[in-house]
Structure 1
Amino acid sequence: MTEHTQIITTIITSFLITLILGPIVIPILHRLKVGQSIRDEGPKSHMQKSGTPTMGGLIMITAICVTTLTSGNVNRDLYVILFATISFGLIGFIDDFIKVVLKRNLGLKAYQKLIGQITVAIIIAVYQSSISEYGTKILVPFINEEWDLGILYIPFIVTVMVATANSVNLTDGLDGLAAGVTLIVSAFFSLVAINLGYSSIAAFCGALTGACLGFLRFNAHPAKVFMGDTGSMALGGAIAAIAILMNLTLLIPIVGGIYFAEALSVILQVTSFKLTGKRIFRMSPLHHHFELKGWKETKVVIVFWSITLVLCIVGLFSLN
């Protein structure tokens, strides 16, 4: 079986597992009454989504784990990526559990999330700098040079990983947005992993792609389930770990441009309001700005998917 065939197999397997788990898990979430609460200050069109089951990220995490662990491409790198995915997913799960089960709207405090995220990120950074042949070097896209960050490597990797996870979390605000963007990004990384000879990482990317595709069956507009912080944190941790272990950290802001545009919009909005009392956007994150300008939710999602596809093509050219 060729590597390309194996990746297609992992995509299909993860996709089917997700499709099977959806009708089983979603009714359970309904019975547990783990419904999403919608912010009053958000777009009024979102109020009808109140009560939609959340924590659906458990479906994707399960599909990814089962698929990768049975793929025949299990090695140390795969375990590290799974560790990052599950650990970030666990942080999100605890946050969701506090919010929707214990009915404490704020969930984990910001510093509690950060402590957990930074701890996991440090483990990944230390692993990569100690085990990888690249050491503390990172590849710079477009010029294809390696820069040695030395003692700055670990804090840099920690910053990137935490930023990516939280950026994906902010992106998860419209039906199918985060799942669709991550599907495209993970498909991109699966192609890169195959070409660079990272068979186990390619298998993981295939499983991630299939899980996102399957989840869209239930999460596309109108969503029957939301991934919650459980899913968005897991996806962010996964994408960051994939790029880090292939020494392609600087590709994340390129191919994941939508993630960072969403995060940047929040930073700019908060900073502007605190300094001047004025808002730059009608609402942040960025997807809500376009909604309030009159775009339909589905239009925003499709446009953001399309931009991600273009950015991934740019990412491919940056490696040539």
Structure 2
Amino acid sequence: MGGIGIMIAFFAGILGSLSASDYSQYTYVFCAVLVLTMIGFWDDRKDMRASHKLIGQLFAFFLVVVLGDIRIESFYGFLGIYALPISVSYALSIFMLVGLTNAYNLIDGLDGLAGTLGAISCGFLGVWFMYAGYAVEGIICLGMLGSLMAFLIYNWHPAKVFMGDTGSLPIGCFIAVFALLFIRENGEMHPSAVYKFHAPITAGLSLMVICSYDTLRVFLRRIRRGKSPFTPDKSHVHHFLMRMGHGHDQVAMFLGAIKLLFLGMVIMCSGLNEHLMFPFVVGLTIAFGSLINVVTLKRMRAKVRKSPPISQRYPIKPTATIKSKSTWEDEPVLES
């Protein structure tokens, strides 16, 4: 439940940095974050049913999308689509928030991993908002960055504190909401603006590229094997990297570096449009994932071939003392 500390630090930071009018612009976002913090807290304590968690999440996202009016309003010409009908806009925005929030929740499987990926996203958003002239949004994102950096001091391997659903659900929601804001503000910017991304949807989704790819990959893998996509297992990308012999901190830094690579590429190609960037980023993501799978399997097979048989590593030891007939006739249960 380390998320409690993250949320306390975050709200304390922005309350001391923003005026009441600035804070009121995002009242519904903060309410949604608090709702998801409570849902995560209860799930960490009592292990809620997935359907109950989903209902709570939908309520939180209703606050953001319908009451807060933070949503995908247009595709800005991508696939020939511009302004979306209001019903489609609401449905698509809530669907994206559900998907991205739970994708971030699922990546929280190693010490320091979710905190590292979240800090990178918040840092990118905070810097962009500040330079693009959105000071309030920039301060809010940098406030979350500061909270995550402080948390990582105690969550870095070997971790003393863990985020839990108390932290991963609200932070995933936070990043997803401000990614939607990032997409909207970029889409509405003048084409000649200095800090405009001409592929706003691709740039926004790149903030969650590791989480999104991992979730889709795991879900498809489970479905192919005839299992429920929500069945927990050890098939996430960070589990594969761990099987290669890497430690928690190495995996966190490796996946963080890949995310920085994607964001750097998006920044360098900010002048390209959506029709070029979207297939390029999707193709590159699949290529990276396939490469990791191939390398992991090769190293695991090589490791197995070099390892001694299990019988040599873990010799079988007798676990029961066999008594004579005269003894066990009187005692029905064998001593172990």
TM-score by length of 1: 0.71
Structure 1 pair 140/182, CA: closer, same or farther in 2 (3 Å)? farther
> 2:207 — aligned with what?
255
Name the stretch that deviates more: 149-158 or 174-183: 149-158
Residues 34-64 of structure 1, C-alpha deviations (whole Å, 9 max, x = no match) = xxxxxxxxxxxxxxxxxxxxx0110100011
Distance 2:74 2:149 in 1: 30
> 1:114 — aligned with what?
54
Q: Which of 197, 213, 218 is equivalent to 2:154?
A: 218
Paired residues in the alignment total 248
Spell out structure 1 runs of 4+ moving beyond 6 A.
none
CA contact (8 A) 1:128 1:245 kept: no
Q: Which amino acid aligns with 1:213?
A: M
Q: List alignment gaps of at least 5 residues for structure 2.
A: 185-199, 272-336
Q: List alignment gaps of at least 5 residues for structure 1.
A: 1-54, 99-106
Structure 1 pair 208/88, CA: closer, same or farther in 2 (3 Å)? same
Task: Return the structure number with greater relative CO, CA threshold 8 A, min gap 6.
Answer: 1
Distance 2:12 2:92 in 1: 31
State yes or no: 1:75 paired with 2:40: no
User: Secondary structure at the residue paired with 2:160?
Assistant: coil
Distance 1:214 1:167 in 2: 23
> 2:84 — aligned with what?
149
Distance 1:110 1:313 in 2: 36
> 1:204 — aligned with what?
140
Q: Which amino acid aligns with 1:259?
A: C
1:1-320 equivalences under 5 Å are 55-73=1-19, 74-98=22-46, 107-129=47-69, 137-138=73-74, 147-150=82-85, 151-248=87-184, 250=201, 251-274=203-226, 283-317=234-268, 319-320=270-271
CA contact (8 A) 2:72 2:180 kept: no
**Deviation, structure 1 residue 211:** 0.7
Distance 1:88 1:318 in 2: 35
CA contact (8 A) 1:255 1:315 kept: no
**Deviation, structure 1 residue 290:** 1.8
Larger Rg: 2
Q: Which amino acid aligns with 1:187?
A: G
CA contact (8 A) 2:100 2:176 kept: yes
CA contact (8 A) 1:92 1:229 kept: yes
CA contact (8 A) 1:137 1:146 kept: no
RMSD: 2.6
> 1:49 — aligned with what?
none
Fraction of identical pairs, as percent? 28
Q: Which amino acid aligns with 1:149?
A: L
Distance 2:114 2:107 in 1: 6
CA contact (8 A) 1:84 1:241 kept: no
